[in-house]
Amino acid sequence: MKRISLVLCGLIALAGAVVAQSTPPAQQGPPQTPTGGVVPGGQGRGGGRGQADPRDMGGGQCAQNPYNCADAPNPLKPPDTVFLEELTWMDVRDVMKAGKTTMIITTGGIEPNGPWIALGKHNWVLRANCDAIARKLGNALCAPNIPFVPEGDIDPPSSHMRSPGTISLTEESFQAMLTDIVRSFKTHGFQNIILIGDSGGNQKGMAAVAQKLNTEWNGSPVVAHIPEYYDYNSVGALLRELGVTKTGQPGDNLHDDPGITMNIMVADPKAVRTDERIKIGKATIDGVSIADKAKAIEIGKKIVEMRATKTVDAIRKKIASKGK
């Protein structure tokens, strides 16, 4: 009996030790960095319930590296770009302090465009045009272009979804994505959030999101859709004025035209297969040659300038009227 009692006492003592090791101290505080700062999220990058340091920026902890602190001096001069994804968080902080508080959200698409133009047609157009618009405004940045937009029913496929490579969203998904993006820019203090789209199927959703959020926030920040941007009739008129095309000129009946092609060429001539088309004698669209790349790009720059000027005028009016 004495031996059994000794064994039982030993087991009880061992169990008590295990429980003691697995139970955290009653007054244990949030995890801390080696220098005594509180770890954001409580457990480094993994989460938890610790209290974050409000000075933590840049995806890291202020206590662990001074470059992670909200007020850390930028060690580099921001590059000469208006594209958000080409900037660091410090660059964005600094250009906002310098007055760039307008954000332009562009929506393009992934859709079929005949045999010559890559699926990202509208995205290249917007690359050239948003750059020009933001620089004309002087106080604006361009958000990463949104290539995912409504392009037709997915199953069974309709409209552009009948062509391989097309990517489509439902209207609900498109508007939900836009809403979250706009809300993100509001959180970071942008005063004007502008929506422009280069495809017809994008317009309704952008208008709905802008109206809903601008009403909800009472114009602070201003959220505005700019339908004046999507005006390809004015591009056609410019080409006729320049003598590039003529009224009644026959077309190739493709999802393409000289205005689109030359606008894209300002961003990237490779996107319209310029060199390959020259080699096989197909460097025309609707009877307009693009074989002289320099000349075609110069015309494209005039298209960009016209569209940017028209859009900037409309943006300024919308901002002045608080998005109404």
pLDDT of residue 116: 96
Beta strands in the chain (DSSP E): 102-107, 140-142, 192-197, 222-225, 284-285, 288-289
The C-alpha angle with vertex 149 and arms to 171 and 112, in degrees rounded to 5, equals: 130
Query: The whole model's pTM is what?
Result: 0.84
- 26 belongs to a structural domain: no
pLDDT of residue 216: 97
- 106 belongs to a structural domain: yes
Q: Crossing angle of helices 293-320/232-241, nearest 10°?
A: 130
Structure-token match 């498109």, residue found: 174
pLDDT of residue 51: 64
Q: Note down the domain range covering 217.
A: 84-320
- 47 belongs to a structural domain: no
- Tokens linked to 304: 């960009």
pLDDT of residue 52: 82
Domain count, the chain: 1
Distance between CA atoms of residues 90 and 177, nearest Å: 25
Q: Crossing angle of helices 171-187/203-216, nearest 10°?
A: 40
Task: Check which CATH number belongs to the domain holding 162 and give it.
Answer: 3.40.50.10310
CA 166 to chain centre: 19
- 69 belongs to a structural domain: no
Q: Does the CA dihedral 173-174-176-177 come out positive or negative?
A: positive
In the DSSP assignment, the letter for residue 284 is: E
Q: Does the CA dihedral 147-298-261-269 come out positive or negative?
A: negative
- 152 belongs to a structural domain: yes
pLDDT of residue 7: 37
Q: For each of the chain's 324 residues, which pLDDT tens digit applies?
A: 444 344 344 444 444 443 344 333 333 333 333 333 333 443 344 343 456 899 999 999 999 999 999 999 999 999 999 999 999 999 999 999 999 999 999 999 999 999 999 999 999 999 999 999 999 999 999 999 999 999 999 999 999 999 999 999 999 999 999 999 999 999 999 999 999 999 999 999 999 999 999 999 999 999 999 999 999 999 999 999 999 999 999 999 999 999 999 999 999 999 999 999 999 999 999 999 999 999 999 999 999 999 999 999 999 999 999 999
Amino acid identity of residue 192, one-letter, is N
Q: How many helices (H) and strands (E) does the chain have?
A: 9, 6
- 164 belongs to a structural domain: yes
- 241 belongs to a structural domain: yes
Structure-token match 């760039």, residue found: 100
Reduced to 3 states (helix: H, G, I; strand: E, B; else coil), residue 67 is: helix
- 153 belongs to a structural domain: yes
Buried b (16+ CB within 10 A) or exposed e, 133-156: bbebbeebbbbebbbebbbbeeee
Q: Is 121 exposed, middle or buried (0-12, 13-18, 19+ CB in 10 A)?
A: buried
Q: Does the CA dihedral 170-175-181-187 come out positive or negative?
A: negative
